[in-house]
Amino acid sequence: MFELPGYTVIRQIGEGGMAQVYLARQEAFKRQVAIKVLAPAYASDLEFAQRFLREAETVASLSHPNIIPVYDFGQRAGTFYMVMELLPGGDLAQWIARGLDEQEVLQITADMASALHFAHEKGYIHRDVKPGNIMFRENGSAVLTDFGIARQINASSQVTVAGAVLGTPKYMSPEQLQGHRIDGRSDLYALGVMFYEMLTRKPPYEDPEFMALAMKHLKSPIPKLPPPYSRYQGILEKMMAKSPEHRFQSGMEITKLIQQIRMGQVDPARICGGLAAIAPGPVAAPARPALKEGLHWDEVLVKKSLFGSKYKFTAEVVALDWTRLSTGLSTLGSTQLLDWQGRRGSGCEQVEVTVVTQTENFARARSAIKHWGNNPAFRFLKKTGLRLVLRDADTGKEQASRLSW
């Protein structure tokens, strides 16, 4: 059994081609973690050892709610390891096998698009986006894992094992299958393949022979989604376009589009050739037309100084039902709030979030926001805290409190 000072290893919980994964207890923080250990057969191979450490370094530099956090990594007595968050909710392959509803598919797609956008902005391409590399926390949030073959966008080499194009062919873009130079749009193609699979429970192209499968990705038409999902065909075609120039150009485009769809601002059936038609009103008649649902944010200069200005971040999320509210909160946390912190850094002074919804959603909204503090990406909230205002959509009555981590 693998041993590491400061951790009590409980049992092995997984095994891949190159590594074993152990359930362990981190004694200093009294929490359960997952420890990934490079298999002994590969530990003596310099190339594999370097790739393993490069994965750990890459993920440790990517602080995002939907990218797995790495708490520690290194080498001990010839054994290479990395300590990560424990994700007990299974992987996306298991979720697809049991069946996903439409809203789950949209949420997972938006979260993964946001995670990929963040990685791409930091200069990394994942190159192996597939259901087995998407795992879930206990609360159901999706997490992108396994950056073992990720590379920097400006890296000159596409292939890191002689004679092999790395990745999983079933989810690889046409340009990746051909060994051409790739960028983040290749990951978005793989996300499109998963989008189809999440809706239909089967991948768009299948063939046991590598060359035949590759030719389907290169030449075959994009399959049609069956009813009742045919209204998402335009989105699928823009995600899986054969040419990168015809796809979504960033993960953020996908995340924002899905947010607009779930808020009733865009009709997915009217998306054609990549152009989203803004609906004249919500797709479904709103229960309260006077309430304008959506997400709004801004910043206020609190103090200007030669030693550094201080800013306050304010946001308002308005949604009657929990599905739309959770979408708004997820987008707020993983996109706007993190972008603001990235721009302002030590200038982040105050954070205030107002949630306008039904009273029965108050507890869930508070819990969702409180959960931000469990991710290293939001450690700045320990300094700023967060003032939360919960406002009843019917009566206007408010509950205000200050959250701390």
pLDDT over threshold 70, residue 63: yes
User: pLDDT confidence of 14, banded at 50, 70, 90?
Assistant: confident
- Residue 152's pLDDT is what? 65
Tokens linked to 20: 């074993």
pLDDT digits (tens, 9 = 90+) for 347-373: 999 999 999 999 999 999 999 898 887
Please say whether the beta carbons of 107 and 100 come within 8 A. Answer: no
Residues forming the active site: 128
**Residues 6 or more apart from 269 whose CB is under 8 A from it?**
230, 231, 234
How far is CA 79 from each of CA 8, 15, 28, 152, 171, rounded to the nearest angstrom? 16, 16, 22, 26, 32
pLDDT over threshold 50, residue 147: yes
User: pLDDT confidence of 284, banded at 50, 70, 90?
Assistant: very low
**Residues 6 or more apart from 176 whose CB is under 8 A from it?**
127, 165, 167, 182, 186, 189
* 146-152 contact pairs (CB < 8 A, 24+): 146/55, 147/55, 147/58, 147/59, 147/62, 148/18, 148/51, 148/52, 148/55, 149/51, 150/55, 150/58, 150/119, 150/124, 150/125, 150/126, 151/124, 151/125, 151/127, 152/123, 152/124, 152/125
User: pLDDT confidence of 269, banded at 50, 70, 90?
Assistant: confident
Taken as a whole, the chain contains a residue count of 405
Please say whether the beta carbons of 81 and 39 come within 8 A. Answer: no
Residue 246 DSSP symbol:
G
pLDDT digits (tens, 9 = 90+) for 372-391: 877 778 888 989 999 999 99
Please say whether the beta carbons of 302 and 349 come within 8 A. Answer: yes
Domain 92-270: which CATH class? mainly alpha
- Residue 105's pLDDT is what? 96
pLDDT digits (tens, 9 = 90+) for 155-167: 544 433 333 445 7
pLDDT digits (tens, 9 = 90+) for 34-58: 999 998 878 888 888 888 888 888 8
Q: What is the pTM of this model?
A: 0.69
User: pLDDT confidence of 275, banded at 50, 70, 90?
Assistant: very low
Rounded CA separation 198/265 (Å): 23
pLDDT over threshold 80, residue 277: no
- Residue 315's pLDDT is what? 93
Superfamily of the domain at 7-85: Phosphorylase Kinase; domain 1 (3.30.200.20)
Residue 277 DSSP symbol:
P
